[in-house]
Amino acid sequence: MRLDSYTELRLDSEASLALDSGAIYIDSRDDGQSGIEVRTAFGTATDIGTQFEVRVEQEMLDVKVREGLVSLTRDDDEYQITQGITLSVNADGNVSTVAITPYDPAWSWTQEIAPVFAIEGQTVLVFLDWVSSETGLSIEFLSSEAEQLAATTILHGSIVGLTPAQAPAVILPSARLSVSVEPGAMVVREFEADGEGLE
């Protein structure tokens, strides 16, 4: 659970909270349970094992789903919000939806307060899986050799002070790998023999 600036909420139980203003980001994919309930004046959002944001601002509710599925109930109506959709409800009760990618800049605030990933003793591949989950970018290897290096290279040290988006460019050179960002993906490659490849 991550809170954006100027967020006001009340925790009623381990699985239920009331959001008055601001935004909350919830990642419940790995906790073995779902059904976290976020109640607002515009309706109640309930997750089904997912990454999602609920934001209340300027008499508007936005529910963004990065991964998985969220149910929003309003009076007698229920909406199923799937991955890649933002559902908005305004003060008049009008409901609209737009598409949102998992790497949209709207998610970037969650990286600034992401828990630090402990890289010590982890493989580069495990590290990249975490980067992918935090940034919404897929990981693509340009060769089987690059993927093998990622799977077998053990990391040491710390990434304290780095966001998930910043960390790969700092960490991967120690594994003789480099990374570049393309729309929707982080592309990982081996360094060339002449030492080129860092981007």
Average pLDDT, the chain: 91
d(CA 62, CA 158) in angstroms, rounded, equals 35
Tell me, what's the pLDDT at 34?
62
Q: Has residue 44 got a pLDDT over 80?
A: yes
Tell me, what's the pLDDT at 30?
62
Give the chain's domains with CATH numbers.
Answer: 2-101 (2.60.120.1440), 114-190 (3.55.50.10)
Q: Has residue 195 got a pLDDT over 80?
A: no
pLDDT tens digits along 58-100: 899 999 999 999 999 998 899 999 999 999 999 999 999 999 9
Q: Has residue 55 got a pLDDT over 80?
A: yes
Q: Has residue 198 got a pLDDT over 50?
A: no
d(CA 136, CA 109) in angstroms, rounded, equals 13
Share of the chain above pLDDT 70, in %: 93
Q: What are phi and psi of 147, to 5 degrees?
A: -65, -35
pLDDT tens digits along 103-137: 999 999 999 999 999 999 999 999 999 999 999 99
